[in-house]
Structures are given as structure tokens and as C-alpha cells.
Structure 1
Amino acid sequence: MKILVTGAAGFIGAHCVLRLIRDGHQVFGLDNFNDYYDPQLKHDRVNWVQEQVGAFQLATVDLADGPAIEALFVREKPEVVIHLAAQAGVRYSLENPRAYLDSNLSGFLNILESCRNHPVKHLVYASSSSVYGANQHTPYSVKDGVNHPLSLYAATKKANELMAHSYSHLFGIPCTGLRFFTVYGPWGRPDMSPIQFARAIAEGQPLKLFNYGEHQRDFTYIDDIIESIARLIDRPPQANAEWDREQPDPASSMAPWRIFNIGGQHPVELKDYLALLEKHLGQKALVELLPLQPGDVLNTCADASDLARATGFQPCIELDEGLGRFIAWFRDYYPLPIAHAPLAAELQRRIL
């Protein structure tokens, strides 16, 4: 199929483009290459993909530019849209909230409008586990209510789900929302804990561990995310004939709209996660223990049973294995400072 991937130079987007091209799809992407973090990492991801599968079409377009998005749909006529572009980050949403309105709300509206004006077989879009917010019942189920977000980022992701539902109901667009749980792996974003922690450990710098390291995260390796997306592409949702207005199912609808969790289903305390990073790096961390930050969720854990029933797949890569792969990439992309290399080698020898 001909597939548009938004955020194609992003962490999940680049991995997604690589997999789809390998699967034989005709892929074109868009990205705005903004400076939320170093754009060079985005260019390097694109180069990494092209080294393996050759050049692919990639337009430098901002989601908030409605006419440019419309023109892209007119020119390329995608059959499927995988919408991964967004302004990411919980903490940054406290500093620059308008960036989230422009990208996550106005930008998503532009995608929906283009899918309305140029009908597609399936719109798959990224949501987030952060929508569960103040919900303390774990594992998080797609049957749970998500009405109490704890950050603007989470609120925009919840809004995306509602916007997609309205367009699905009004215009028949098959829409699937994916609630990702703490995605990690090679080529990850530098504002996320794997790179932040690994760089601090490797450089002998103190790292901040919020909530004193006692909260849990359901880490999900990037390959499991991509496998889930690949299996869902040709499974557009159907209207649920048994959907009951008196007892509405939050995960489906009388419209062709569906929500899935994609998570590892094995939450880990951040203290234990840090210990695994130390093991793979062969260095001990200098830790500053701090209280929970505003906007952070205490614990996350996915119930991915609906995904398993729909696709026959659920995330399966254990954190220890995934972090090993991540650190192998990290050592190559962020070479260890020479001053710390002998210490790292000695600590690794002792651990082994």
C-alpha cells in the first residue's frame, strides 16, 4: 500500500518507515525537523534508514501548515496514514504549552481534514499511556475511563482520541488510536530517561531520580511497537454492532474507531531500571533522589489483551534484553569519553 508516515524522522517514525519499506509498502514521510532536540539526530535517523533500504520520499512540512498538508495528500494520495508526529514530552508542556496546541491539536485537525477530503482506508495515530492520568487502577485497560489527565500533553492526546472519533462517526474514517507505554530503544529521543541516564552514568555526572526512584514504568521496546503497528495496518476497525449506548465501551464505537494499548505488561521500578543500565554500561550512577515532578504519573502498566486478540501479538522483549540492544547503539552513537573508558572497562570486567 501507499502509506504516509508523519514524524518520519522521529524515534518511532524512523523505525516504522524502515519496517514498512522492508514489508514492500510504498512509503513517503513528513517531518518538520524542529529543534525541540538536536535536529541532527533526526537527520541521522533518516540516513540510517536510507543506508538499509535506500532513499524514500520525505517532505519537510509542519503539521500546523494546513495548506501544505492538503497539498501533500493531493499529490501523493495515501491509502493509509500512520500519524506519529506530535510535540512530545510531559515536562516541556509545562514550559511551552502553545507548542502542543499548534502541533497536537491544530496539526491533528489538519490530518483529519485531509483524510476527510481524500478518503483513506485507515488512519492509525499515536496516543499515549499518559491519558490514564490520575487513574490508579492497574493494569491500565482500554475499558477504563481516561478523564483526568495530569499534563497538557496527556490532555492533547486524549483530545486526539475524541477528535478521531468524531471524524470517524461523521465521515466514516476508520481510525485506530495506539496508547504507547514508555517506548525505548536505539535512536530514542535524548529528552527521555534511557539517553539521559546513560549519558550521565557514562560521563560520571549526577542524574536526577524523581519520586525517589519508587514509581514504576511499563517499558516497551521499539521493535514491539513497530510489530504492533505493522500488524494493525491492514486491520481497519469496523463499527461495533454490539456497542451499547446505555453501557458504552470506551475502546470501540458504533463508528469504525478503536483504541489499543501497546505496552510491555511488566512494570519495573525506576531503581531497578537504573540498576540494569548500570550493568550494561559497566558503571555506577551518581544519583540525586528527588520528589515526584508535577505532571508525572506514579505507575504505568498496560493491559494489552485487546491487541493480542486483534493481531495475535503482544509485546514480548524483556527490559534486560532491550536495554542491552539500546546500550550497544548508545556506545556507538555517543562514544564514551576517554577519561571514563578505563573505569568502564574495569567495572564491566568485574560485573562479568
Structure 2
Amino acid sequence: MIFAKELNETLRTCLTADPRVLVLGEDIADPYGGAFKVTRGLSTAFPDRVRTMPISEGAIAGISAGLALAGYRPIAEIMFGDFLTLVFDQVVNHIAKYQAMYAGQATCPVIVRAPSGGHRGYGPTHSQSLEKHFLGVPHLRVVAASLVHDPRAVFEELLAQDSPVLYVEHKLLYPQHLTVPENGRSGDLLAAQDASPGMLPTVCLSAVPREECAVTVLAYGYQAMLAAKVVERLAVEEEIFVELLVPAQLAPMDWAPVERSVGVTGRLVTVEEGSGGWSWGTEAAATISRRLFRELRSPVDVVASEPTVIPSSRTKESRILVGEGQIEAALRAAAA
């Protein structure tokens, strides 16, 4: 099943299994069913619990916070991830703080869904990957959708805990088919899951066993899918073997799977679509450099998009956002 439909079925399962679950957002009701049709059919099946909201992201976040404090489990959709800037105050100063402020006597388990990313020519304010601005916020989990993580399993885990969550979904994942690991493989690549207790799994993909890999590449979301294509192509065409790690959870980050891989390969490349500088990749570079200084054979390379406005022109956009070309060049350089 393609990712958008699987995510729709995931939300349907959540609504069916738990009467406390609510879905809120702009234009999510039928017949429109959301900007990317992820909620299509849900308001018809659950008219009292799937509600279209006014065009106010602050109101969506604030109402979700109140509902969560009252015992509900709201899942709030922000139509475009760019508009996360409008919920920053509610998320950082309220939703993420309540449980710690009140010593666990109050919880605010809001899940905020945000379609993000570019490569569709949507221009400067509808193409960004802004999740790096939420990384490191105490008590907030940041989770990234991918084609190798089953959204049903992810949401089951998220709803079982009381932590608020930002769940980012790259828009280019929606029409693609899931390749969740099965029988030790994901597509044509070897696959395994690695996770520390209480953390969402990191999926490890490679063409050969880890011991034969020369580089570790760490990527999430749509960029992980681009990296998988590069990993497979380099292995088949030139016998350059790379292990790809795809974490579901970006913050707090589970560093143990990364340490286990880099401890063998000695080299790390990180990939993200967000703009370069002060990013997830730089945090990974700092952490792994500190923890595995003696094992590293070269500095950690951080691949990210250009720190500038994303243009509407598809040609210019492709030069600014990370694509397969930049990923392949970084992996070749690391393996040399």
C-alpha cells in the first residue's frame, strides 16, 4: 500500500481503537479530506471526532493542548510544515512543558502531524523542512515518517506514551509504496532493526553485511529513500558498500545504533533536506566525534540543503535542495 493510504488506515485504526483519539486540522473533512488526502473518509466515519478547524494554526495547537490536558489524545494536522512557526509558542512553552511543570500530575500528549519538504515547486513558504528548530526542545519527541517504518507500529507506540510528538511527513513519501523490512530484507537491500529500550527503531540497510561496509550514512524521511537508491547503485555498479541507518526518532536521538555501525565502518555521512547549519547533522557530527573519536578514520560529513530561500522554479529548487547527486558525491568522498 502507498504511504498516504497506509497513514489514512493508521489514523482510522487509532480512532477505532481509542475513543479518546481526535483528529483536528484545516480542511480535513470530507469531501476534501486534507491537502494531501491523508484524512479522506475519516470525518464521514467519525463525524464527532474528526473536525475541520478555522484557518489558525495557533488555535489548532491551543485547542489540542486543552483537549490533551482534559484526557483526550488529539492528533493535529498542520497543513504545511512551513506553518509550524505559527505553533512554536504553543508547542515549546506549553505543550512540551506541562508534564514536567506539574511533576507528572498533568500530561499533554498532543501529536502534531506536519507535511514537509520540497522538490514539488511549491516555493519559499510551502517547501521547507523546519523540524531542526524543534530538535532539543525538552520533553518533545520529534519523529520522521519513512517508507521503512510501519506507521501503524509508530502511532501505536506514540499513543501508548504521554509525551507530545512532532511527526514530520515529507510530501514526496505520500505516493510511494512502503518497503517495511520483512524476512531480513527491504526491497533489494539487507535490513535489520536496531533500537535501545523505549526508543523507536532505527532501520539498518545495506547490500552486504556491516563488516564489509566502508561508510555509514545516516538519513531520515525522503532523504533516506534517496540515500537507499545511491547505496544500492554504488554497490551494484562499483562495489562501494555503504550501510544506511534510517531512524524514526530524531529527538531524543537513539545514538546506540549509530555508534555500533560507525564503530565498524569508521566513517559517517549525515543527510537531511533542512538547511545547513545548526542542524540535526551537526548534532550527530558533534556527538559521534566525541564518543568515537579514536574509531573515526575521517571527519563526519554533513550533507544539507543550501541555507537560502527555496525558489518556485523546479530547476533552481533542485540545485538548492539535497538530491541523489550530493549524497553520492559525499559517499564517494568518504569511501575514497
- Bigger share in helix: 1
What TM-score do you get using the length of structure 1 for normalisation?
A: 0.35
Structure of greater relative contact order (alpha carbons < 8 Å, 6+ residues apart): 1
Q: Name the TM-score, length of structure 2 as normaliser.
A: 0.37
Please state which structure has a larger fraction of its residues in strand: 2
